[in-house]
Structure 1
Amino acid sequence: MPFRNHRVLVVDDNRSVHDGICRTLASPHKPAPEPELFHEPATPKPDFQVYSAFQGTEAVQRVGEARERGTPFAVAFVDLRMPPGIDGVETATKLWQVDPDIQVVICTAYSDLTWSEMSTKLGRTDQWVILHKPFDRIELLQLAQALTEKWALTQQARAQMADLESRVARRTQELVDALDKLKREAAERARAEHEQRSLQRKVEETQRLESLGVLAGGIAHDFNNILTGVLGSASLAKLETTPGSLIDQHLDRIEKSACRAAELCEQMLAYAGKGRIAVKAVDVNALVKDTLELLHASVPRDANLSIDLEAGLPPTMADPARIRQVVMNLVINAAEALTGHPRQVTLLTRRTKLTQSDLAAMSHPGDAVPGEFVSIQVSDTGCGMSRETLRRIFDPFFTTKFTGRGLGLCAVQGIIRARGGALDVTSEIGRGSRFFVCFPTGTAEIRPAPVFPPPAPALPARPDVTILVVDDEPTVRDVAELALRRQGFRTLSAPDGAQAVALVRDTQTRIGGVLLDLTMPELDGVSTLKALRALRPDLKAVLMSGYDQSEATQRFDGLGLHGFLQKPFTIDTLRQKVAILAS
């Protein structure tokens, strides 16, 4: 047994009894004489190590010192009465104070204390027994043997319990760690799934916006072609009427309506990121201040427009007209949403730093990258919007207004997206809405659109100059040809680039210049002009398109355009732009 301990202390003031117990329990390492006290022959003894004390205080001292040395006693045989010192009961109590594990045998020849009284005085019923004098030698040895084994078993059980508790604690900690790991993994998985769903929603939203942008851009482009025919035909018809006549007035209304339709097309192109822009460094605060009168006029008289502009904002690269359009649209929408009281619209500008996580949390981050931004925030205390409305407010032609066209906010989003900005919208029914718009800061050099010479004055008829009109839209070709012939030019036309190239290659007519559309099937404007210049390096060209001049003309770098004609156009605008071709 690994916890074996046969160290025994005998405590008795009567030397005869004391020596008798010692001889009976004496260790083989310290031979004892034949016991005379019990008048019995010698028998084999266990390997007890016997130590002596003659008073209780001496016993307490020895037990305490032995425990401190790491060689504790297993059993103490203590006489009940040891005058003049402390008795056995008090001795036992003090022994347990210095060594709680020691087993105690109370040796007594008296019966003046009952078991109950002894139990009351000693308390621990599991660590003491009574041995009545005179006692039998075998009884003494059995008792010593049993109690030393009990001490060893107690130590072994305690060690096993400590080991078990340690293993349980260790295993419990392992389970706690495993549970924590599972919780972290579950949380991480939930977060990853949330991010994946969020990313998927953003991808789907981006794809939807791109599809809508392509659709809006295509519709606007086609409408511009149609409007070119309407506006051009109206301009031509006006030349055949008497100014101020009823027909002339009708034609004026047609022209104005066509121009208004062209403005709608421009908003659709802005949504698609292809509207007319003139990018430069913009001071947003200065722009807002310049627009204050219009802003206040946009808000009802019984409402309050609060404007807070942070001083020292860095510039942002944008088209001032587009930024003004964004601010006006947001303020007008906020003002129209006001119901009840308070009726408050607030416009703030701030320098804002956005991290990747900030952008990810925004409802419409677009393609914005982390960095510094100039932010414009417009909030109101109006009626607010439902989730369904929030989801659709940037869709083209979606509106909650009776007279709305549903193009204002979609144009705002297109402008922001085209400049690499971000947008966040929050709203609550009955509490109002907040639009948070961010444009990246910077003064990076923007490649300017080509600078064309100023329009030349109208020239006299030049029947010797032939102008080639290339456009896949028959109405545009017809209007352009009619207008050019009315100015005295001769014209040729082609419905696509391939036929235009063949016409220049095969005709004997000297072509003075080409009026060229940007987007056509098979060969687009760029490819067509390259092919034409391969045949006629000196051929002058004016580009016409419904798209932004900067975007459209940048594709013609190095090809030497001589002008740009924005669709839809009037006859007067056409006359000015093509004059360069006849010079």
Structure 2
Amino acid sequence: PVLGHVRDLPAQERTQLEPYAVRSILILPITLHDRFWGFVGFDAIRAEREWTDAEQVVLSVAANTLGAAIDHRHLDETRLAIERQLQDARRLESLGVMAGGIAHHYNNLMTAVMGNLDLALSDLPANSAAYASIKQAAKASQALIALTRQVMAYSGNAHIAPRSTNINDLINQNIELLKSPLNETTTLELHLDSSIPDILIDPSQVIQVILNLIENATDAIGENLGTITLRSGLEAYSSERLNESRLPDKPAAGQFAYLEVSDTGCGMNAETQHRLFDPFFTTKAVGHGLGMSMVSGIVQTHKGAIFLNSEIGKGTTVRLLFPLRSGPQTFNRSVS
């Protein structure tokens, strides 16, 4: 505690209290969990007085009671915030399940539509008026099927076909596809670690993930000169490092194969990084906002991890981890 007469205080404090006719003060700290939170002051006005030991004890109890009340209020606010986050998570999970179910049936219907359009195209001469119209309808159908598959990937309803795959071979075999989003001012560099063993993944989904990351990197670079670097490698991760993964489920510590896409683009601010994997969130003028949520859904299904590092004006790096494993595995198709 701090106690005494105003006349004994330094000049600055004295000039602040004298206009209020304060003559003596008693200041007691307020602590929360043994940490200083603030203080409560008691004043004697017009006449000086001495604070007895008994008064100090009583007023200390009052300060401690105030601290306990503040702590209780803080705990209530924290509990309510956690409950709201849990409710939001449950609503989002329910939305994902519903959207995944709808997308599954829609995908089946669109596959039938696409099949019939292909049959119609095969029956028509290429120079007919109907051929061009059906060709456009088929192109739109392919885009719709791709969109529904992204929704299915996010919700965990996508068809998973894992097999033992070498990541480097997968990249080299699809290099032309991976270069397709690049503009004239952007180059793609490969730095692939030849020591990576085969791992159990769904090749088509992993290629879709890489392609999506390259598309985003290309958009971040824009019309400027820039470089996108695709890396692969092996690295051991501890539980502490894996806790920094952007996915809700953290894999067990161990050795991982990683894929990393980095760019020299515009980078992201903290808010964009925080919301990057939210469904329907996009910073693009034209976009549905499912690309990165699809990435998170696919990596989560593979029981992997995602790390993000970005800075405005310095670019972005996204690293994906895949566990080293071979042979039959059970893939979790439910992604919350």
Q: Normalised by the size of structure 2, how large is the TM-score?
A: 0.64
CA deviation profile, 1:254-281 (whole Å, cap 9, x unmatched) = 3442233112111211122222332101
Structure 2 residue aligned with 1:414: 297
Q: Which amino acid aligns with 2:99?
A: A
Distance 1:321 1:204, change over 3 A: farther
Conserved 8 A contact 1:296-1:305: yes
Separation in 2 of the partners of 1:342 and 1:416? 30
Match of 1:401 in 2: 284
Q: Tell me, yes or no, if structure 1 residue 292 matches structure 2 residue 181.
A: no
Name which structure has the greater RCO, CA cutoff 8 Å, separation 6+.
2
* Deviations 1:269-321, CA, capped at 9 Å, x for gaps: 11222223321012112212223333344333433433222231132211111
Letter in structure 1 aligned against 2:315: G
State the partner residue of 1:487: none
Structure 2 equivalent of residue 360 of structure 1: 243
Please tell me whether the aligned partners of residues 104 and 148 of structure 2 are also in contact (alpha carbons under 8 angstroms): yes
Once residues 342 and 242 of structure 1 are traced to their aligned partners in structure 2, the CA distance between those partners, rounded to angstroms, is: 45
1:46-78 Cα deviation digits (max 9, x unpaired): xxxxxxxxxxxxxxxxxxxxxxxxxxxxxxxxx
CA shift, 1:233, in A, is 7.0
| Conserved? CA contact 1:314–1:442, under 8 Å | no
Give the equivalent residue in structure 2 for 1:387.
270
How many residues are treated as equivalent by the alignment?
260
Aligned-pair CA distance for 1:417: 0.8
The match for 1:336 among 208, 216, 219 is 219
SS at match of 1:420: coil
> For residues 190-339 of structure 1, what are the structure 2 equivalents within 5 Å?
207=90, 210-224=93-107, 226-227=109-110, 230-231=113-114, 238=120, 245-247=128-130, 249-338=132-221
Higher strand share: 2
Structure 1: stretches of 5+ with no match in the other structure: 1-180, 184-192, 449-550, 552-583
Which sits farther off after the overlay, 416-425 or 271-280? 271-280
Is the partner of 1:395 in helix, strand or coil?
coil
Q: Distance in 2 between matches of 1:235 and 1:297?
A: 24
Match of 2:242, as an amino acid?
L
For residues 201 and 235 of structure 1, what CA distance do their matches in structure 2 show?
49
Match of 1:94 in 2: none
Which SS does the other structure have where 1:331 is aligned?
Answer: helix
8 Å CA contact 2:214, 2:261 repeated in 1: yes
Equivalent residue letter for 1:428? E
- Residue 269 of structure 1 aligns to which amino acid in structure 2? M
TM-score normalised by structure 1 residue count = 0.39
Q: CA 1:339–1:263 in structure 2 vs 1: closer, same or farther (change >3 Å)?
A: closer
Q: Could you tell me how far apart the structure 1 residues matched to 2:153 and 2:204 are? A: 12
Q: Distance in 2 between matches of 1:418 and 1:281?
A: 16
Q: Deviations over 1:539-564 (max 9, x none)?
A: xxxxxxxxxxxx8xxxxxxxxxxxxx
> How big is the shift at 1:438?
0.7
Paired residues for 1:89-104 under 5 Å: none
Instruction: Tell me the SS of whatever aligns to 1:394.
Output: coil
Q: How far does residue 373 in structure 1 lie from its aligned partner after superposition? A: 1.3
Q: Which residue number corresponds to residue 470 of structure 1?
A: none
Q: Which amino acid aligns with 2:243?
A: A
**Residues 323 and 385 from structure 1, CA distance in 2 versus in 1: closer, same or farther, beyond 3 angstroms?**
same
User: Deviation digits for residues 2-35 of structure 1, max 9, x if unmatched?
Assistant: xxxxxxxxxxxxxxxxxxxxxxxxxxxxxxxxxx
Matching residue of 1:377: 260
Mapping of residues 111-260 of structure 1, within 5 Å: 207=90, 210-224=93-107, 226-227=109-110, 230-231=113-114, 238=120, 245-247=128-130, 249-260=132-143
Distance in 1 separating the partners of 2:245 and 2:330: 30
* Structure 1 counterpart SS, 2:195: coil
Rate the CA distance shift 1:447–1:394 in 2: closer, same or farther, 3 A: closer
Letter paired with 1:315? D
- 1:432 maps onto 2:319 in alignment: no
Pick closer, same or farther for the CA change 1:313–1:235 going to 2, 3 Å: closer
What do residues 373-426 of structure 1 show as CA deviations (whole Å, max 9, x unaligned)? 111111122111122322332233332223333232222111101111111222
Identity of paired residues, percent? Answer: 35
* Cα shift readout 1:448-498 (whole Å, capped 9, x = no counterpart): 9xxxxxxxxxxxxxxxxxxxxxxxxxxxxxxxxxxxxxxxxxxxxxxxxxx
Tell me if structure 2 keeps the 8 A contact 1:349–1:376: yes
Asked whether the equivalents of residues 384 and 430 of structure 1 are also in contact (C-alpha less than 8 Å), the reply is yes
The match for 1:29 is: none
Matches of 2:242 and 2:84, distance apart in 1: 14
Partner of 1:397, secondary structure, is coil
Q: 1:205 to 1:315 in 2, by over 3 A?
A: farther
For the residue of structure 2 that corresponds to 1:361, the secondary structure is coil
- Kindly indicate whether the alpha-carbon contact (under 8 Å) linking 1:367 and 1:417 is maintained by their aligned counterparts in 2: no
Larger Rg: 1
Q: Distance in 2 between matches of 1:424 and 1:217?
A: 25
- 8 Å CA contact 1:216–1:271 kept in 2: the answer is no
**Residue 211 of structure 2 aligns to which amino acid in structure 1?**
M
- Relative to 1, partners in 2 of residues 1:252 and 1:348: Cα closer, same or farther, differing over 3 Å? closer
Equivalent AA in structure 2 for residue 388 of structure 1:
E
Give the Cα separation in 2 of the matches to 1:447 and 1:346: 32
Q: Distance in 2 between matches of 1:366 and 1:318?
A: 18
* TM superposition shift of 1:428: 1.9
